[in-house]
């Protein structure tokens, strides 16, 4: 099954990023871009999966994409204006969904909003709108300890969207989830992405199946090898997997598709060469 879509303007650009730690190359000449995906008659955001073996520099790239770290050379920029990313421009959701445990749900969002240039009335309005959008209306006065894990996750994501209008980075969002919770997580990510055409969610994950199920594009991080088979230090985006072109993206029944299983198998085999 395929859907009609077109790729429009570039909304995130990575240009020749290089990073060294302790004199060792971690990321080398890493470049990539994310396009706005337009589907006629609906809002369709972008969901990008960043995969690669352990130790390949995914965490360091995560920090660079969020603006929390700077590369030694190269740039990460947002939208066509190519404004370099700075802390706060991209929402970041860590594995533990960190929230202020002594603050209510509404207060958690308002604190995040105070880091922006919004006025108090605008912060209140945006927090109320996000709580409604993420199914949290009625939980405003509760504390994080009174919420389920899924509800805390929704609050953490809503909190980040108080600061970042369109961009969200999620670190290992599928880690430690049982099959039911994992399916709910995938559904929620798709739901968030479809709230706005410019919503762009980047998932850093080891879970190949979940990534293929929920993403429209995958970036496989890897290294090159010399003639003797020795890896050359410094990872880059070694392969891009376009799940839209394969007819896998945006399907509720994707796990029943032969193309889904073939793609999961293909990526697992590719890992040994990354």
DSSP per residue over 207-233, as a string? -HHHHHHH-SEEEEEE--B-TTSPBPS
Rounded mean pLDDT, 30-35: 96
160-214 pLDDT, tens digit each: 888 777 899 988 888 877 888 788 888 888 888 998 899 999 999 999 999 999 9
Predicted confidence band at 243 (pLDDT cuts at 50, 70, 90)? very high
CA distances from 245 to 7, 17, 62, 201 (A): 12, 27, 26, 19
All domains of the chain, ordered by start, with CATH? 6-90+164-271 (3.40.50.300)
pTM score above 0.75: yes
Contact present, 260 and 250 (Cβ < 8 Å)? no
Rounded mean pLDDT, 238-267: 94
**Tally of CB atoms within 10 A around 9:** 10
pLDDT of 1 reads 60
Report percent pLDDT > 90 for the chain: 58
pLDDT of 50 reads 96
63-116 pLDDT, tens digit each: 999 999 999 999 999 875 677 898 888 888 877 667 889 999 999 999 888 877
Query: Is a pLDDT exceeding 70 seen at residue 2?
Result: no
111-150 pLDDT, tens digit each: 888 877 788 899 999 899 889 888 899 999 999 999 987 7
Distance CA 58, CA 202 (A): 12
pLDDT of 97 reads 67
Query: Is a pLDDT exceeding 70 seen at residue 28?
Result: yes
Q: Token pair of 141, please?
A: 């006065």
């Amino acid at each position: 099954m395929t859907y009609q879509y077109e790729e429009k303007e570039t909304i995130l650009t990575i240009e020749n990023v290089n990073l060294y730690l302790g004199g060792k190359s971690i990321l080398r000449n890493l470049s990539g871009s994310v396009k706005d995906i337009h589907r006629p008659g609906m809002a369709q955001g972008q969901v990008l999966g960043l995969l690669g073996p352990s130790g390949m520099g995914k965490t360091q790239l995560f920090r660079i994409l969020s603006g929390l770290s700077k590369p030694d050379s190269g740039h990460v920029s947002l939208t066509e204006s190519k404004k370099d990313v700075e802390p706060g421009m991209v929402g970041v959701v860590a594995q533990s969904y960190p929230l202020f445990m002594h603050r209510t749900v509404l207060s958690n969002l308002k604190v995040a909003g105070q880091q922006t240039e919004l006025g108090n009335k605008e912060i209140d309005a945006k927090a109320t709108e996000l709580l409604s959008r993420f199914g949290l209306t009625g939980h405003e006065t509760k504390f994080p300890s009174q919420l389920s894990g899924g509800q805390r996750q929704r609050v953490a994501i809503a909190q980040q969207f108080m600061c970042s209008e369109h961009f969200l980075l999620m670190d290992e969002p599928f880690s430690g989830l049982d099959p039911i919770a994992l399916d709910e997580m995938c559904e929620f990510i798709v739901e968030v992405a479809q709230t706005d055409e410019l919503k762009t969610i980047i998932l850093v994950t080891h879970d190949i199946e979940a990534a293929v199920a929920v993403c429209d594009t995958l970036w496989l991080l890897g290294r090159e090898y010399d003639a003797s088979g020795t890896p050359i230090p410094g990872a880059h985006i070694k392969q891009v997997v376009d799940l839209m072109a394969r007819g896998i993206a945006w399907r509720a029944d994707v796990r029943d598709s032969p193309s889904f299983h073939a793609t999961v198998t293909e990526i697992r085999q590719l890992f040994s060469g990354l």
